[in-house]
Structure 1
Amino acid sequence: MIVVLGIGPGNENYRLQGMTKYLAKADVVIGSKRQLMTIPAVPANKKMALPRLAALKTYFEEHPDQNNVLLASGDPLLYGIGTWITANIRNQKIKIIPGISSIQYMFHHLKLSMNDCYLTSSHGRIPDFDFLLQHSKVGMVTDQQLGPFEIGQEIKKRGLHRKIYVGERLSYPDEKITQYDETTIEQRKYEMNVVVITNA
């Protein structure tokens, strides 16, 4: 069995309490180095560093009788690894446990309703900005190639005016949430971040 376990935005205070029972029953817990460091209660001999996806698929296919737990940052089915698992693993039972996503965390910190919000990501992809900017509220996970500054330029290019909220290292002690617009957004390196765009 594979349990894809959402572990929230980072800080352990934002994890769902029920996740501990899945970790306790696990034969192997798989995750990135950063994720594995956040679960010290799991013995080192049960931890496995996340390999490339092709190797991960092979591992699961070769160990169908194990209780495998795969850690997922945020919510596994919001631009997360849960989508990949359901599309690529066929020979065993899969259970997906939700977590608090970084986008959800950001909206709540801003006290902004998520109703009618458009959710997307720029990880390894270029969003359709003409479509995206038709929405009054957008929540977006970004990467180093297409981050907050580039989003601001896309807004400016279309002659639009929007509020741009950038949340960096959300839930950690050094988190930073800053409000910009398309003219004030800084051209710099942003830490792990979420962008929320609203009508100005």
Structure 2
Amino acid sequence: MLIVAGVGPGNPKYLTYDVRTKIEEARHILAFGRVANSLKIIREDIIEVNKVEEILNYIDGKKEILLLASGDPNFFGIVDFLKKKGLDIQEVLPGLSSFQYMMGKLQKSWHNANFLSLHGRDENLENIKSHKLSILLIDKENTPNKISKELYELDIRGKIYAGFNLSYENEKIIMKNIGEEIENISSLGVVVVENEMD
């Protein structure tokens, strides 16, 4: 039996009550390093995995397993991967996504946003041209600085916000004009693009 739970942007205070209860009660818990480390204050016995494929080694259908995923597991998350591998998921518990947290910090509405994930994926930034607001998940290859430069080369102008280590003590949010240099603080982050469309 597999339950997948979103743990939010990182800081345990953003766990939903339901997810926290499941963490306290579960017999077997799997999580990636960052998630496992941030939740050690709740449970010391979380099994840390480093690659998505490692999860498959623990799942045999007999054990009740709680798999913890950062953000929301249905938003560019692990649920699709597990289903493609043919795994039967009993329940998915949502979590606060890092982009939702970021938009709250910026006090900006996101209901008409264009969403892209550059976290381990290749995406064409060209489609940002046709959207006033785009929200991107980033990784160590697709940094805010790289995105800023590429958008400028595509003749996209406006504001770019980069949020790093969101919800942690070392959180930092930077606002720049598209094309300007952005310091790469962490590979853990979200970029928001406000396109000045005609």
In structure 2, the partner of 1:2 is 2
Distance in 1 (alpha carbons) for counterparts of 2:38 and 2:161: 27
In structure 2, the partner of 1:74 is 71
In structure 1, the partner of 2:184 is 189
Distance in 2 (alpha carbons) for counterparts of 1:52 and 1:162: 37
**Structure 1 gap ranges (5+):** none
1:157 pairs with one of 139, 153, 157: 153
Are the equivalent residues in 2 in contact too, given 1:25–1:67 (CA < 8 A)? no
1:102 aligns with 2:98: yes
Distance in 2 (alpha carbons) for counterparts of 1:93 and 1:119: 25
In structure 1, the partner of 2:53 is 54
Distance in 2 (alpha carbons) for counterparts of 1:180 and 1:51: 34
Are the equivalent residues in 1 in contact too, given 2:30–2:55 (CA < 8 A)? no
Distance in 2 (alpha carbons) for counterparts of 1:156 and 1:93: 42
Distance in 2 (alpha carbons) for counterparts of 1:175 and 1:153: 23
1:85 pairs with one of 59, 69, 82: 82
**Structure 2 gap ranges (5+):** none
Moved over 6 A (4+): none
Give per-residue Cα distances to partners, 1:141-200, cap 9 Å, x unaligned. 1112111111111111122212100111111122111111123232x4331211000124
Give per-residue Cα distances to partners, 1:112-153, cap 9 Å, x unaligned. 111110111112222111112311101111112111111111
Aligned residues: CA RMSD: 1.7
For 2:34, the aligned partner's letter is: R
Distance in 2 (alpha carbons) for counterparts of 1:131 and 1:20: 38
| TM-score where L is the length of structure 1 | 0.89
Identity percentage of aligned residues: 27
Secondary structure in 2 matching 1:96: strand
1:41 aligns with 2:42: yes
Distance in 2 (alpha carbons) for counterparts of 1:142 and 1:51: 18
For 2:42, the aligned partner's letter is: A
Distance in 2 (alpha carbons) for counterparts of 1:109 and 1:9: 13
